[in-house]
Chains A and B, each alone.
Chain A
Amino acid sequence: MDRKQLQYQVACMRKSLFDQGYLDEQFNQLEDLQDEANPNFVEEVVTLFYSDSARFIHNIEQAMINKPNIDYGKLDDYMHQFKGSSSSFGAKKVKKECSQFRECCSAGNIEGCIKTFRQLKLEHATLKRKLETYFQLVKQAGIAERR
């Protein structure tokens, strides 16, 4: 594919990610931090985020299984971590779901928690898919440029 076209596609995709509210300003900051010394910084962070988040999701699911004796404090802790990660990385929608989850937690609303968590997982997965495509494109563009 043509280099220009690839670049254009990358730009469009990136813009749509922002426009649709998946990502926020923080992601720009991350990209700013990426330079020659640290060429794959963003991807590295994203990978880290996903390995981390998989763990969190697992933990949270475990914590929510043994109904009705749910330890809301623990849930909240997990979710705090999860939220920290997502805000560091700029996953806006996921972060929003996290906040909502924590609100439900503090209200002791298990139904809300479950509902939000389902939504959270959905957002999480969507973002992951989108970002995978995006990074693939970026890589292609990078290769094209080097050629």
Chain B
Amino acid sequence: MTLKMQQSYHHSVAVKVNEQQVGTKRGYTFIQANRTWLPKVLLLWVMAMALLSLTIYNGMDADNRVRRKEVLGSMCDQRARILQDQFSVSVNHVHALAILVSTFHYYKNPSAIDQETFAEYTARTAFERPLLSGVAYARRVIDSERQEFERQHGWTIKTMEREPSAIRDEYAPVIFSQETVSYIESLDMMSGEEDRENILRARATGKAVLTRPFRLLGSHHLGVVLTFPVYKSKLPPSPTAAQRIEATAGYLGGAFDIESLVENLLGQLAGNQAILVNVYDITNSSDLLIMYGHQNLDGDLSLLHESKLDFGDPFRKHLMICRYHEKAPASWAALTTAFLFFVIGLLVGYILYGAAIHIVRVEDGFHEMQELKFRAEAADVTKSQFLATVSHEIRTPMNGILGMLALLLDTDLSSTQRDYAQTAQVCGKALIALINEVLDREKIEAGKLELEAVPFDIRSILDDVLSLFSEKSRNKGIELAVFVSDKVPEIVVGDPGRFRQIITNLVGNSVKFTDRGHIFIKVHLYENAKAMTDTKVNTCLNGGSNESVLTSGSQKFKTLSGCETADDQNSWDVFRHFSDEDFRSDASINVTTNNEASEDVGLMVCVEDTGIGIPLKAQGRVFMPFVQADSSTSRHYGGTGIGLSISKCLVELMGGQIDFISRPDVGSTFSFTAVFGTCKKNVFNNMEKRNAEALPSGFRGLKALVVDGNPVRATVTRYHLKRLGILAEVVSSLKLAAGSCGKNGSLTSGGKIQPDIILVEKDSWISGEDSVSSVWQLDLKQNGHTFKLPKMILLATNITNSEFDKAKGAGFSDTVIMKPLRARMVAACLQQVLSMGKKRSQGKGMPNGSSFLQSLLCGKRILVVDDNRVNRRVAAGALKKFGADVECAESGKAALKLLQLPHIYDACFMDIQMPEMDGFEATCLIRQMESRANEQMNGEYMVEEGTARKVQWHIPILAMTADVIHATHDKCLKSGMDGYVSKPFRGRKSLSGSCQVL
């Protein structure tokens, strides 16, 4: 693909250079442009990743901490609540005890409670007050009552220091006590600082009151003392503090051993190992009194949770502070996640960096390559230019040499000298040809070659090429044939010279490398060819195709010569599709070609040979310039091997492709496609008029029978006949031909055509000769007297004298149509054969083309009407040249006089522009005269004979005019002329276009 592009766009190198430069500028990508930044970007990336992972770690850690805090809070609150509950239960019990004392000690008279009862009761209900180490009841004793009291109980009131109390206003000696605290009996509670305070507060409020924590007397544990007032009499509904004090009878107290209490409590709860609990009395906010826990704080100090405790004493405030026993463990999950993230980020960064570096390197490489490519192309252009210049410089002096040689050959030379000079000339021509080829190639490569676009006839070009090689192929005994599908328009627009060059080259190669078999040129429409190939594939799949038929031991292929060809695609099956299609759908094709006027048409041209083929290893470099299959090839066959590469270039310029299939020792098939323009009908008409070399049309309507066992060859023959307007039927053997003729001979059915010509292939004749010729002759004799004998013509590639004599003996005409077939040559031969009977005398050595005209005009009386003497003389001379009997008239009037009925002339050439009476007027008058005569005459004949042939007076009148524009032509026809010839009168060229009129 690239290679192809390179080749086809070689000529735009200069443009491409610009493009490239632009391209290189544009080619730098973003990465390339910022290549120096790459390491920095990588570093930045790594730092960003580190930062990001740190953030992730922090986030996860903070999360953990929050959760930890929540756990701590909930645990702390739980503990505080439980403690509070337990405490309040105990307080309630003490309250109950106070009520018990007041009920049984004061309301009953005498008192129902004494020390024993109290001790017993409290001991037995101790389980209800697990938090209290013991309870005691102290009675309120006023100083005035002290004597009485001491006497009554038999002991003196002692202070806390166990000394007899000093005199005070009031005393609160313990009178009842639980056994666990029996040591405080008789101690004055008012003597202790905390207790006294408690008592005063309790009796004023009537509620349970707590002391601040202090070391308890017995256990030395930290504890608080709970004090409850006991009132003598019932209080009013809302007593004042004074009323309360008045009514106070005593105090019930109990010691809370907070330390053991909390210890106990926490022991029951889960997770007590994990947290440390401190309980404080915060009544005095500046001085926190510890109730429980270590004074010196250890454990995790960073995280604390405080819970309020309400022990039922509004005066005292308590606080519980919890903290974790150990510091928060490092969060491994967060650490791992962050680290992994970092690693991944690092890797991704590195990968991107690596990719970027790679891209940069690749782009560098690309630019380098581009530079190199550009330089290589520049070198190529330089080479081409050099070659072109040198070739041109060589050509100029070579022309001088050749010219001088030509002049030299014109002078008197001895035979040796002449030989030398001729050799020199031949060599010089060969050199020029070679240089031209090289120049061609370089021109194409440099893109300087421009194709023409002129209308031309493909068929005639192919015929020309064929005629070029006919001599060679005949000498070698090779069949050479051409077939153009009817779908291919007659006139296409393109470069005929270059088209011919390609074909000539391919055919030349084929002829060079082929010693037996055939060379066959086929032209189809590209679309059709493709469709047919598909069909072929289908039939292959269906198993329907068998290419070869075995006849008498040797394999025979259905190809032109029966030899095998390299390309199966072009085998008979496909070919038959084409030709059948062609012959079947003539009418429709004409319509379609009219419709799709001035559109492009793709042609597919195949040149098939049965030569030595191309060695497999050389097939790859067939189209490379100056390369031949191997070095021995040039020794054997000569040549430079440049032709195919030129052909390839040309084909590509024509918008097509060239390809080949080759099998060594079997043959090669080169095929190429090319795109041509089609042109409109009228353009084509004009061109036909200009191009006086159009095929003779005198054979239109003739019928021919082609006898040929080989269907491909027969199709080719039919193709050429069809171009001449001859309807051809194909039969495979002489026997069948005889049969069909015989049938026609009997007058039973008019359905079949009676052939005017029978064309017999030499092979068919030789193989069928013995058995059939007698029958053939018989048939002919039978029918001979009633019907015109069809002419028998032999078709042959080469023929020996003896064979020729034999053929003449068998009833064939003198003329043998020699292959390769060309429409024009066939026409000439047919003309010769058909007119042989009448005009034998003309057999002078005339050129082929004019022999037809010669026969047409020979012996005819022709009137030339022209007022210009010179013109008249020239026209007369030209017509005389072809054997016509010419008379002249110098004006329309004179002509009218001469052209009286009955006509003595066979035709009239009339100048249009004449003084007095011009050509149109004269013709009109003549036609009027004729039609009058015809009417009259036909009337008579009708009466007399009825079925007799109609006699029509009609002298062919041809205008002679210098302007061949369409309007003039129309005017000619309108005024009753049959056609026109161009002036100045050019003999054959002028005449051949209008011969159908004659």
Chain A residues within CB distance 8 Å of chain B: 4, 8, 25-26, 29-30, 32-33, 35, 37-38, 41, 44-45, 48-49, 52, 77, 80-81, 84-90
Contact = CB atoms under 8 A, between A and B. Distances in A.
A80 B878 CA distance: 22
Contacts of A8: 410
Of A32, A88, A89, A90, which is in contact with the most chain B CB atoms at under 10 Å from its CB?
A: A88
A84 B881 contact: no
A87 B878 contact: no
A30 B873 CA distance: 10
A60 to B, nearest CB: 15
Nearest to A41: B877
Given A29-B987, A81-B867, A88 B874 contact: yes
Contact of B984 (A41, A52, A90): A90
Nearest to B871: A88
A84 B870 contact: yes
B986 A89 contact: no
B412 to A, nearest CB: 6
Nearest to B987: A29
Contact of A4 (B411, B870, B874, B987): B411
A77 B915 contact: yes
Contacts of A45: 870, 873-874, 877
A85 B880 contact: no
Contacts of A81: 867-868
Given A44-B873, A80-B913, A88 B881 contact: no
B869 interface: yes
B176 interface: no
Given A35-B881, A38-B880, A80-B913, A29 B986 contact: yes
Contact of B983 (A33, A41, A44, A84): A84
Contacts of B868: 52, 81, 84-85, 88
A26 B413 CA distance: 34
B878 A89 contact: no
Given A26-B986, A84-B868, A88-B868, A48 B877 contact: no
Contact of A88 (B410, B412, B915, B984): B984
A89 B870 CA distance: 7
27 contacts: A4-B410, A4-B412, A25-B986, A29-B986, A29-B989, A30-B877, A32-B881, A33-B874, A33-B881, A35-B881, A38-B880, A41-B877, A45-B873, A48-B873, A52-B868, A84-B868, A84-B871, A84-B983, A85-B871, A86-B870, A87-B962, A87-B984, A88-B871, A88-B874, A88-B983, A89-B870, A89-B874
Interface of B: 410-412, 867-871, 873-874, 877-878, 880-881, 913, 915, 962, 983-987, 989
A124 to B, nearest CB: 13
B870 A49 contact: yes
Contacts of A32: 881, 987
Given A4-B410, A33-B878, 10 more contacts: A4-B411, A26-B984, A29-B987, A38-B881, A45-B873, A48-B873, A81-B867, A81-B868, A89-B874, A89-B984
A38 B983 contact: no
Nearest to B877: A33
A88 B985 contact: yes
A48 B873 CA distance: 8
Contacts of A49: 870
A88 B990 CA distance: 13
B987 A52 contact: no
B870 to A, nearest CB: 4
B912 to A, nearest CB: 11
A137 B983 CA distance: 30
Contacts of B983: 84, 87-88
Contacts of B871: 84-85, 88
A81 B868 CA distance: 6
Nearest to A50: B870
Contacts of A80: 913
A80 B962 CA distance: 11
B917 to A, nearest CB: 14
Contacts of B881: 32-33, 35, 38
A3 B880 CA distance: 31
Query: Top 10 nearest A-B pairs by Cβ distance?
Result: A85-B870, A88-B871, A88-B984, A87-B984, A33-B877, A84-B868, A88-B874, A49-B870, A26-B984, A29-B986
Contacts of A26: 984, 986
B411 A84 contact: no
A86 B412 CA distance: 38
A38 to B, nearest CB: 6
A88 to B, nearest CB: 4
Contacts of B984: 26, 29, 87-90
A89 B986 CA distance: 10
A102 to B, nearest CB: 12
Contacts of B873: 44-45, 48
A147 B870 CA distance: 33
Contacts of A38: 877, 880-881
Of A41, A44, A84, which is in contact with the most chain B CB atoms at under 10 Å from its CB?
A: A84
Nearest to A46: B870
B870 A88 contact: yes
Contacts of A25: 986
Nearest to A42: B877
B147 to A, nearest CB: 177
Contacts of B412: 4
